[in-house]
Amino acid sequence: MTDDTVTATGFVRACAISDIPDTNALAVRIGDVAVAVVRSQDEYYALADSCSHAEVALSEGDVDGGVIDCWLHGSEFDLRTGKPLSLPATEPVAVYPVKIDGDAVYVNVDNPIEQES
Ligand code: FES
């Protein structure tokens, strides 16, 4: 995969690894979907870039230890599952599959990862 076209599997090039800040997310848009791309503990994640409590960008929050904080009211979300770990948010945010190819980060927004209830 070397270009930013949609692949047969639905993965779209979101950014370069080097574009992602160390302690924050990178806000990208894939089609109509706002996505927060995150690196934490040498793993890569892509979440819907909208807090489930109110519509603010999660990408503006801090990332640490597998968690992203919502900057507005402080809910923490698990990067792997999208589930809130603290109030006031009670609903998960969508999490999308990520693939790395060289320095490129690919995200599939058409197939969010199933969340256990
Ligand atoms: S808007 Fe994110 S916790 Fe309230």
Ligand 1 lined by 57 (C-beta under 6 Å)? no
Q: How far apart are CA 68 and CA 25, in angstroms?
A: 8
* pLDDT tens digits, 58-110: 999 999 999 999 999 999 999 999 999 999 999 999 999 999 999 999 999 99
101 C-alpha to center of ligand 1: Å?
33
Distances from the Cα of 114 to the Cαs of 15, 46, 57, in angstroms? 24, 14, 22
Give residue 62's Cα distance to chain centre: 13
Ligand 1 lined by 72 (C-beta under 6 Å)? yes
Which CATH number do you get for residue 77? 2.102.10.10
14 C-alpha to center of ligand 1: Å?
25
- Classify residue 30: in a domain, yes or no: yes
Total structural domains within the chain: 1
106 C-alpha to center of ligand 1: Å?
27
- Classify residue 83: in a domain, yes or no: yes
- Residue 19 — pLDDT band, cuts 50, 70, 90? very high
Q: Which domain holds residue 67?
A: 12-107
* In the chain, % of residues over pLDDT 90: 83
pTM: 0.91
- Classify residue 117: in a domain, yes or no: no
Sign of CA dihedral 11, 66, 77, 24: negative
